[in-house]
Amino acid sequence: MTRNLYAWCPLLALVLLCSPALAQRWQPLFNGKNLEGWQHVGDGSFVVEAGMLKTEGGMGLLYYQKKPFENAVLRVVYRNPEGKNAGVFIRIPEAPTEPWMPVNKGYEVQIDDHEGEYHDTGVLYSLTKSKAQPGRPGEWNTMEITLDGDRTLVKVNDVLVTDYREGDPVPEKAADYEPDRGRRPTRGYIGLQNHGPHDIVYFKEVSIRPLK
């Protein structure tokens, strides 16, 4: 019946194929098989294990090198046993050659469930205060990061944790390992952090879709 409908109504078929809903599908950035499209800098590494990305050692960064992104939603599905530490980098202004430039020039969306309200999962590390603590250590969690012009929103397990716009007030830098303060670009590279040898975190999905 569907085939006959398309035969009789080619215009309808074209409309369906070009509909916004179909156009807004998630695009996987990690293929579940290897590190194609990704580049690692710094110490440690990421390995592919049973279709997942697994952190090893640190501190380092695995970034998606094919292109930077803007006005999009980034979805990351991760598991951090015992609340271990990692992060998702956004708004990195240029392809990194070492792990500290993304810390100081981009944003790290934190993955860590025991370090306090400015260091909780889903905050912009040390810059924003968590609105909620929906992370579930040891379970699979879904983080969605919306890059909407100069606004950054982060949801964890469909709960809003961060809503930040460039220029919003932030605390002063309190430690040398915290990021430099200042505005970030609307367009940038994204990446995943491997934090240290005892912080083993798994990622089974990294996908992106443009904003409507």
**Predicted local distance difference test score (pLDDT) of residue 24:** 66
How are strands ordered across the β-sheet holding 38-42? 38-42, 60-64, 189-194, 86-92, 107-111
Distance, CA of 124 to CA of 119 (rounded, Å) = 8
Contact 160, 133 (CB under 8 A): no
Percent of the chain past pLDDT 90, that is, above it, reads 82
**Predicted local distance difference test score (pLDDT) of residue 126:** 97
**Predicted local distance difference test score (pLDDT) of residue 132:** 96
Contact 127, 179 (CB under 8 A): yes
- What digits encode the pLDDT tens for the residues 124-133? 999 999 999 9
Phi first, then psi, for residue 49 (nearest 5°) are -135, 120
For residue 86, what is the enclosing H or E element?
A: strand 86-92
pLDDT exceeds cutoff 90 at 1:
no
Contact 121, 78 (CB under 8 A): no
CATH match for 26-210 among 1.10.1760.20, 3.40.50.300, 2.40.240.20, 2.60.120.560: 2.60.120.560
Span of 15-19, 73-77, 106-110, 126-130 with lowest mean pLDDT: 15-19
The model's pTM: 0.88
- What digits encode the pLDDT tens for the residues 140-154? 999 999 999 999 999
Q: Which of 22, 65, 23 is nearest to 41 (CA)?
A: 65
- What digits encode the pLDDT tens for the residues 88-122? 999 999 999 999 999 999 999 999 987 789 999 99
Q: Which of 123, 101, 105 is nearest to 41 (CA)?
A: 101
